[in-house]
Structure 1
């Protein structure tokens, strides 16, 4: 009777680890898809902001005002931050695929959470700083004599606003990645 009880205890443990492994694998697949979507959001934001410029004629056809993203250091930081995050995400796809194959991996998951959190901070800094400049471009600040420029540079403002929205979508997706990785790691204990 004792031997049967030991076998029964062993079997119940084996059946409980199979669904846990399957859930971890499913979470790893979801993580891979979220990473791919985040690459699209951050790379699209970097490209959209990096190619933003608009030229307006002033009085004559020979005098023109030009607005480019690199006229403002904040937008340059935004493009660099999104490009770095996109490159990191492409490199991290290998670890995501590794986690699908080896759902019990712990050390690589901890490293991924650490670097994901660092990239989340970089992406948040770039998006937040650019959001402040985009707000000033739309609303201006009469106390400091900063006039809104979006009435004149409509295309420039739409592209920069869209880039910032895409980057904030990347921030939300990164938060999901960190939470998903933390849950997958906690299920191992």
Structure 2
């Protein structure tokens, strides 16, 4: 998403003039939120990996860490899902436009930029599915550690 940038010549009403106009992810708050949410999720995964390695060295803290991880993982899943939804909504408007509000589609002009966006949103969706599976794994690990 961050590397997606494209500059095209856009015709203005007085031919034969054309002006260069670039499109990048910072043009939309939804795309900025997408990048920020996945950056936070990536940083959190690094921190949890380090803490999980520490918990292997000191097993007494493992149950507490896993319970905290499950709660924060679910919170991050909500943030990541909201980011995917926001970026997907803006991307869909860029792809199809909206005739009711007179927003024209831009993916016919910025084709490479839209391909970068689509790839980023698809990768984000796959990452969120993996996050759901990891949350389920953490939950089942925690439930096995609780005595019955």
Query: How far apart are the structure 2 equivalents of 1:58 and 1:128?
Result: 29
Query: How far apart are the structure 2 equivalents of 1:130 and 1:169?
Result: 14
- CA RMSD of the aligned region, Å? 1.9
1:89 and 2:45 equivalent?
A: yes
Secondary structure in 2 aligned to 1:50?
Answer: coil
Secondary structure in 1 aligned to 2:100?
Answer: helix
How far is 1:184 from its partner? 0.6
Secondary structure in 1 aligned to 2:8?
Answer: strand
TM-score (norm 1): 0.69
Q: Which runs of 5+ in 1 are unaligned?
A: 1-48
After the TM superposition, which segments of 4 or more aligned residues of structure 1 sit over 3 Å from their partners? 59-62, 98-104
2:119 aligns with 162
1:68 and 2:24 equivalent?
A: yes
2:64 aligns with 107
Q: Is the 8 A contact 2:56 2:62 kept in 1?
A: no
Of structures 1 and 2, the one with the larger relative CO (CA 8 A, separation 6+) is: 1
2:140 aligns with 183
2:4 aligns with 52
Query: How far apart are the structure 2 equivalents of 1:50 and 1:87?
Result: 17
Query: How far apart are the structure 2 equivalents of 1:83 and 1:104?
Result: 27
Secondary structure in 2 aligned to 1:164?
Answer: helix
TM-score (norm 2): 0.87
2:109 aligns with 152
Question: Which protein has the larger Cα radius of gyration, Structure 1 or Structure 2?
Answer: 1
* Bigger helix fraction: 1
Q: CA, structure 1 residues 84+179, in 2 after alignment: closer, same or farther (shift >3 Å)?
A: same
Deviations 1:28-80 (A, max 9, x none): xxxxxxxxxxxxxxxxxxxxx11211100134687212111111111111111
Secondary structure in 2 aligned to 1:144?
Answer: coil
**1:25-44 to 2 correspondences below 5 Å:** none
Secondary structure in 2 aligned to 1:63?
Answer: strand
